[in-house]
Amino acid sequence: MMKRLLIGMLMLAALAAGPVAAETMYVTDQLRLGVFAGEGATGERLKLLSSGDRLEVLERRPNFARVTTDDGVTGWVKSAFLVSDKPAVLIVAETDAERQAAEQRIEALRAEYADTDAVHNRLRESLETANATINSLETELAGYRAARGNVLRRLGTDLELLGLFAVAVIVMFVLGQWLGRRHHEKRLRQRFAGLSLGD
């Protein structure tokens, strides 16, 4: 009986707990590798390397390789952790750097586009101002042409009047000369008692 009671309580506890939620985890690709003074990871540890550190292999032995780091440290490491392909850490870092460079280029292009757009707007405004000035000058020129036409018409009328006046003056001058001569001849005849003066 006790056994049944214990099994029942365990079953109730299992049902009450419900399903256990699974936790998502990832395996890290961060590796720390020691560089040792002696072959076989013996001797003093000279440096601790991280994933992606570049090494120059000087010598290979079973399971170990003698290497030089970029900063000049020479020692032995486990060769199983050396690969010729770039590790994911470096690829991600390079990709991230390329992405950042692309974003900076995009921002530069946006700024350049904004500058180009501003220049375009200034040029459009200058063109609109120039067109308005041209329209104003054309209107002013049309006014000058109309005024010139009026002046020419008045001048034509004035010239006609001047021509008529000149003709009248000439006619009056000729008539005055003729009348003056006739008058002068008449007086001379009266003075010389009807003698005819030859022309």
d(CA 182, CA 197): 12
What is the per-residue pLDDT across 141-178, written as a single tens digit (0 to 9) for each? 888 888 888 888 887 887 788 888 888 889 888 888 99
Distance of CA 69 to the CA centre of its chain: 47
With a pLDDT cut of 70, the percent of the chain lying above it is 83
What is the per-residue pLDDT across 96-122, written as a single tens digit (0 to 9) for each? 999 999 999 999 888 888 888 888 888
Q: Read off the tokens for 146.
A: 């109309």
**H-helix or E-strand containing 77?**
strand 74-78
**H-helix or E-strand containing 43?**
strand 42-50
The larger pLDDT score, comparing residue 140 to residue 93, is at 140
The type of residue at 52 is G
The structure's pTM equals 0.39
What pLDDT score was predicted for residue 129? 92
